[in-house]
């Protein structure tokens, strides 16, 4: 890229995309270290890491140094990881070399969410140098269940938070929230027998089939939300049996509930109450996130507020459980939600530059005294 000399955000974005930070890889820690390097020499910045069980960094916090601990912070919360590149030959460019094609910048993570991360880093660095009460949290493992978000929440523990911006892919619109997620593993159990005498056993796969047949007619109690929309259920995985000539004694499904409620107990209770079910385990429990449209914080921002929630979940589902009530949490970043996770993932160059201006303006507004 030839733009980097006069655009620090594009320079940083190029460096971030060059790091293969696929979830669970060492590249995640490399991204955290590269971000931390942006704050070297910034006396107003305090940098801290939270370790993963293996000792590698799981999350990064950049916060004001020496600021009154009672001063509420505007927090930008981003993630370092990307989804895998399953077939690099399908890409028109090297997925780990940011390539400009017209106004588009192509590369894995260009949209989700290294462009948002880069814009947040540049804006936070500028704001901290002015003494503004802003902070940046960067996590790992977001793409595989927000695994690093608890470490990010720990780093924020004890710090007053005024608002949270998650710079995911929203085309620079302010998105007020998203549904949560409840992932379950549901099991049926049978009795193994020879495949030639199935009457001597009990078929766990057939038991699961009976359960699944009931879902459309009398499934779990799904509810709606005036802004987040209807809850949904998807059975994404089924596994049972081992070979054709043995009656299967166990069958499991993986269920993805997208939820709009705080209490998911009625959903897990429904599955546990089914006569065929012997075990239900919770694999992922992420809260729904919503900021009311009339929240005063929104009035001071220069971006359009979307009429739709995000279709995906974010680290906000973890962070919101550690915040005071009515702290605004929004999804707001330069990425293009229509191309995330895909071949030739890209972002608008102009959108990245605009995001820096929008985030810097949000920080300035946070620093400004309230109107009389």
Q: Which residues participate in catalysis according to the annotation? A: 81, 142
Of 116, 175, 114, 133, give the one whose Cα is nearest residue 301: 175
277 by DSSP, 3-state: which? strand
Give the C-alpha separation, 297 to 291, whole Å. 10
Give the C-alpha separation, 79 to 163, whole Å. 17
By the 8 A CB rule, do 168 and 99 touch?
no
Cα–Cα distances in angstroms (integers) from residue 291 to residues 152, 170, 174, 176, 223, in the given order:
21, 16, 11, 5, 19
Could you please report the per-residue DSSP string of 221-249?
---EETTTEE-EEEEEEEEE-SSTTB--S
By the 8 A CB rule, do 179 and 234 touch?
no
CA 32 to chain centre: 16
- Kindly provide the residue ranges of all beta strands, DSSP E only, lying in the chain, ordered along the sequence: 45-51, 57-64, 73-79, 99-101, 104-106, 134-139, 161-166, 177-178, 180-189, 224-225, 229-230, 232-240, 250-259, 277-286, 289-290, 329-331, 346-348
User: CA 249, 254, 255 angle in degrees (round to 5)?
Assistant: 130
């Amino acid at each position: 890229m030839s733009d980097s000399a006069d655009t620090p955000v594009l320079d940083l974005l190029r460096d971030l995309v060059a790091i293969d930070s696929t979830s669970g890889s060492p590249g995640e820690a490399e991204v955290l270290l590269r971000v931390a390097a942006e704050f070297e020499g910034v006396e107003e910045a305090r940098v801290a890491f939270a370790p993963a069980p293996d000792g590698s960094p799981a999350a990064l916090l950049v916060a004001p140094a020496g600021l009154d601990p009672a001063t509420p912070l505007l927090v930008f919360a981003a993630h370092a990881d990307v989804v895998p590149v399953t077939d690099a030959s399908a890409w028109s460019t090297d997925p780990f070399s940011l390539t400009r094609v017209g106004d588009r910048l192509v590369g894995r993570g260009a949209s989700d969410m290294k462009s948002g991360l880069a814009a947040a880093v540049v804006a936070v660095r500028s704001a901290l140098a002015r003494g503004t009460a802003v902070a940046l949290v960067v996590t790992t493992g977001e793409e595989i269940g927000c695994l690093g978000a608890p470490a990010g929440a720990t780093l924020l523990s004890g710090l007053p938070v005024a608002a949270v911006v998650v710079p995911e892919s929203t085309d620079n619109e302010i998105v007020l929230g998203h549904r949560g997620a409840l992932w379950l593993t549901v099991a049926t159990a049978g009795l193994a027998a020879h495949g030639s005498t199935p009457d001597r056993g009990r078929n766990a796969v057939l038991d699961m089939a009976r359960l699944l047949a009931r879902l459309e007619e009398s499934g779990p109690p799904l509810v709606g939300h005036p802004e987040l929309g209807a809850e949904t259920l998807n059975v994404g995985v089924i596994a049972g049996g081992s070979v054709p000539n043995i009656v299967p004694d166990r069958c499991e499904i993986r269920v993805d509930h997208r939820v709009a409620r705080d209490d998911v107990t009625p959903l897990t209770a429904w599955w546990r109450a089914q006569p065929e079910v012997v075990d239900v385990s919770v694999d992922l429990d992420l809260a729904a996130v919503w900021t009311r449209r009339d929240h005063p914080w929104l009035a001071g921002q220069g971006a359009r507020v979307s009429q739709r929630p995000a279709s995906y979940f974010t680290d906000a589902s973890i962070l919101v459980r550690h915040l005071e009530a009515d702290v605004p949490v929004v999804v707001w970043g330069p990425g293009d939600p229509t191309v995330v996770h895909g071949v030739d993932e890209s972002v608008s160059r102009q959108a990245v530059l605009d995001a820096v201006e929008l985030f810097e303006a949000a920080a300035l507004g946070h620093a400004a005294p309230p109107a009389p």
